[in-house]
């Protein structure tokens, strides 16, 4: 893999503190920066993959709703009303 130089300016105090931290981890500042860059890229890729998955799931749900494959609102409300009543009874009998 070809390497290149990444040059940027930082405050001298920031550089010193970062170098101290790197030294305490038995690493160089350059090694820590490379690690950070790799971690940032991996995180961005994970976020992009999750976003694509999520968007596909939302589209799937929209497509299913458009095709009439969903559960009618009234049935959902009735199901959860029964569930709530059942839980309330269990709580009352447990008290």
- Residue 95's pLDDT is what? 79
Q: What is the pLDDT of residues 42-80, one digit of tens each?
A: 999 999 999 999 999 999 999 999 999 999 999 999 999
Question: What is the band of 24 on the pLDDT scale with cuts at 50, 70, 90?
Answer: very high
Q: Angle at the Cα of 92 (from 86 to 95), degrees rounded to 5?
A: 140
Q: Please compute the mean of the pLDDT values over residues 3-18 and round it to a whole number.
A: 95
What are the boundaries of each domain within the chain? 12-70
CA dist., res. 81 & res. 86, Å (int): 9
43 contacts 37 by C-beta, under 8 angstroms: no
Determine contact, residues 31/22, Cβ cutoff 8 Å.
yes
Helix then strand then coil, % of the chain, to nearest 5: 75, 0, 25
Distance CA 10, CA 94 (A): 64
pTM for this entry: 0.67
């Amino acid at each position: 893999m070809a390497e290149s130089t990444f040059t940027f300016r930082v405050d001298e105090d920031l550089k010193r503190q970062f170098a101290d931290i790197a030294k305490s981890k038995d690493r160089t500042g350059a090694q820590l920066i490379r690690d950070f860059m790799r971690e940032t890229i991996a995180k961005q890729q994970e976020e992009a993959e999750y976003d694509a998955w999520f968007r596909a799931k939302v589209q799937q749900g929209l497509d299913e709703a458009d095709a009439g494959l969903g559960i009618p609102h009234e049935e959902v409300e009735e199901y959860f009303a029964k569930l709530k009543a059942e839980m309330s009874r269990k709580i009352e009998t447990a008290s």
